[in-house]
């Protein structure tokens, strides 16, 4: 029992550290929360959690090993993921500047639908090739083959909930009134910064040779 608890704690700690590190997920939540609303950020966080569920599912069935060992499959995920990040970045760059007298109202009224926000979070996570490699390492080096499937299921559920909870917290913090008041004054410039960062991140994913 103690060894199982220690393994659960280890997996939870490793995953939380990975989730908290800067990357596509964090950038997407920051963008959606600041450019749209707290609700949009939280729905996007739910999408990230659903993406984690997919990674865990195929890792449990050993498919992660096949993806990592297949140049074709891994490259497809890598390039599609890179293209998606670049697409969102371009959309941010193409956003027109709003009139100053409308910023405070329009900023809060503009929003993605819940389904669109969940979809964006889901695609951002599921198309991240580094997430595939992370779960491959987790399920081959940290979680042992002798670990009961029930315990693996608990680990997976914890990681799904922890991901959604952490990024929901990020959305809540970034949507604080003080943060919003500062942000509305630099909204257009910030959208361009998010656009450039997403495009740069997409290009980095595309040219990355990590395998």
Compute the half-sphere exposure of residue 8: CA atoms within 13 Å on the CB side of its CA: 16
* 56 Rama sector, left if φ>0, alpha if ψ -120 to 50, beta otherwise: alpha
Query: Could you tell me which residue, 106 or 79, shows the higher pLDDT?
Result: 79
Does residue 180 have a pLDDT over 90?
no
pLDDT at 78: 81
Say if residue 117's pLDDT is above 90.
yes
Sketch the domain layout of the chain as residue ranges.
Answer: 2-8+23-207
Q: For residues 52-79, give the mean pLDDT.
A: 81
Residue 181 in this model has a pLDDT that exceeds 60: yes
Between 81 and 99, the more confident residue is 81
What element of type H or E holds 91? helix 71-93
pLDDT confidence bin for 172, thresholds 50/70/90: very high
For the cut 60, the answer to whether the pLDDT of residue 108 exceeds it is no
Q: What is the pLDDT of residue 100?
A: 42
What is the pTM (predicted TM-score) of this model?
Answer: 0.79
Of residues 53 and 84, more confidence is placed in: 53
Q: For 109-125, what is the mean pLDDT?
A: 87
Mean pLDDT of the chain: 82
For the cut 60, the answer to whether the pLDDT of residue 171 exceeds it is: yes
* C-alpha distances out from residue 50 to 54, 65, 92, 182, Å: 7, 20, 24, 32
């Amino acid at each position: 029992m103690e060894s199982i608890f220690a393994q659960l704690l280890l997996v939870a700690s490793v995953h939380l550290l990975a989730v908290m590190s800067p990357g596509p997920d964090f950038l997407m939540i920051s963008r959606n929360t600041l450019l749209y609303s707290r609700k949009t950020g939280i729905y996007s966080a739910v999408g990230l959690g659903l993406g984690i569920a997919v990674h865990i599912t195929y890792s449990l069935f050993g498919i992660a090993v096949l993806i990592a060992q297949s140049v074709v499959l891994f490259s497809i995920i890598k390039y599609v993921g890179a293209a998606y990040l670049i697409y969102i970045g371009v959309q941010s760059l193409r956003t027109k500047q709003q009139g100053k007298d409308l910023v405070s109202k329009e900023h809060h009224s503009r929003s993605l639908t819940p389904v669109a926000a969940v979809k964006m979070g889901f695609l951002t996570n599921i198309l991240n090739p580094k997430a595939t490699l992370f779960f491959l390492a987790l399920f081959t080096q940290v979680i042992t083959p002798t670990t009961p499937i029930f315990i693996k299921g608990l680990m997976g559920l914890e990681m799904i909930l922890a991901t959604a909870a952490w990024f929901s917290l990020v959305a809540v913090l970034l949507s604080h009134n003080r943060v919003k008041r500062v942000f509305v004054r630099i909204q257009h410039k910030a959208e361009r910064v998010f656009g450039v960062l997403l495009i740069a991140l997409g290009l980095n994913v595309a040219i990355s040779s990590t395998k």
